[in-house]
Amino acid sequence: MKPKFAFFGAGNLGLAHAGHMAMHGYDVSLCNRTGSKLQPIVENNNKILLTGAVSGKVRIAFVTESYEEAIAGRDIIVICTAAPGHRYTVGKLLPFLESRHRIVLHPGYMLGAVEVHRLLSQHNLADIPVSELESSLLTCRSEGGNTTNIKAIKHRLGFATLPAHRNWECLSPFLALYGRYLHARDSIMETGMLNLNFIIHPPISLLNAAAIDNGQRFLQYHDGVTEHVANLAEAMDNERIAVCNALGIPTTSLHEWDKIHYPTHIGDSSTLASAFRTNAAYSAIYHPDTLYSRYIWEDIPYGVMPVISLGAALGAPTPAMEAVVGICKAMFRMDWDREARTLENLGLGGLNKRELLQFMITGNA
């Protein structure tokens, strides 16, 4: 019998993923913390309209604002919120969670599974496994109301679990539908280090800041990634790779990552800039009309700053990343130090390389 899924977050990804699984016969519920995003779905008899690479109208079994109702009788909890929503969502679910549940962060960003595992442990729920995808499985954008456009399904996307020995148990329910697209990674450190939004998003936003402030609409990747923007992204990416090498974990460059996950979509893969500018999956994806978007407010504290903290612990310099964070703090007059998923904020400060890797496998230092 197929497991039952509860999806949290009715944004681009949550709407698309819940709809795609329901289209293939899975019993899914959909929950969002605010009812306004759910109202167009409810008004359409709980139906979601999928367009693009996957198309059709599908009915969601249950749509609700109630966290308790959303997981009643459900087996797998899929959290499709932005990274700041991981802790919030699990916090709301704490009174209703049982040891039989499995939690999947789609995606996990950097150290998302660690943050959730820590919260669960504080409430005697450490036996609930926490999995994460390294990036969004579906490249998608909301078209408003109950409609979402799926532009592509990424290939060979990593999936890891804390603790690692439960990874197959947590991955297997997805394989009937996504076996071509998902594969197991050894640890959540690998998946976190391969969520590369934090490498490409901040350079685009920062180096196109005047255009964004002046209300100029432009395509996020096709217009926003020039060779100079890509140069900054590659400098940050080289630092990320150096941190991975210091940890002794496998990784790949942003350039190769894009080619791996979009094997049929890229017209010219000769450079990083050309790969982004000619990727058909990125067509009609516009940059948000404000700098106050997840491309800064998520990717800096939940992507860049965690890697900087890892680099500092391992003796791997990250000057380009530190420069980007410094510019963001000055531009936005904002300090993310208390919010960021750094090792110190997660209670992992002072651990050596062996202890860090052990924690990412077992959940215990």
Stretch 86-95: mean pLDDT: 97
Is the peptide bond between 163 and the residue preceding it cis, with omega within 30 degrees of 0? yes
Average pLDDT over residues 9-23: 95
pLDDT number for residue 365 = 74
pLDDT of residue 347: 95
Among 46, 24, 43, 3, which Cα is nearest to 15's?
A: 46
Mean pLDDT in residue range 38-65: 94
Assigned token pair, 127: 């036996």
The two structure tokens encoding residue 163: 């603790």
Residue 1 pLDDT grade (very low, low, confident, very high; cuts 50, 70, 90): confident
Domains of the chain: 5-193 (3.40.50.720), 197-362 (1.10.1040.10)
Mean pLDDT in residue range 229-243: 98
CA distances from 301 to 24, 186, 337 (A): 36, 25, 8
The CB-side HSE value for 70 (13 A sphere, CA atoms) comes to 28
Per-residue confidence band for 358, with pLDDT thresholds at 50, 70 and 90: very high
DSSP string covering 191-257, please? HHHT-THHHHHHHHHHHTHHHHHTT---BTTTTT--HHHHHHHHHHHHHHHHHHHHHT-----HHHH
136 pLDDT band, cuts 50/70/90, is: very high
284 falls in which pLDDT band (50, 70, 90)?
confident
Q: Tell me, what's the pLDDT at 350?
A: 93
| pTM score above 0.75 | yes
Determine how many CB atoms are found less than 10 A away from the CB of residue 206.
18
User: What pLDDT is attached to residue 142?
Assistant: 86
Encode pLDDT of 330-353 as tens digits: 999 999 999 999 999 999 999 999
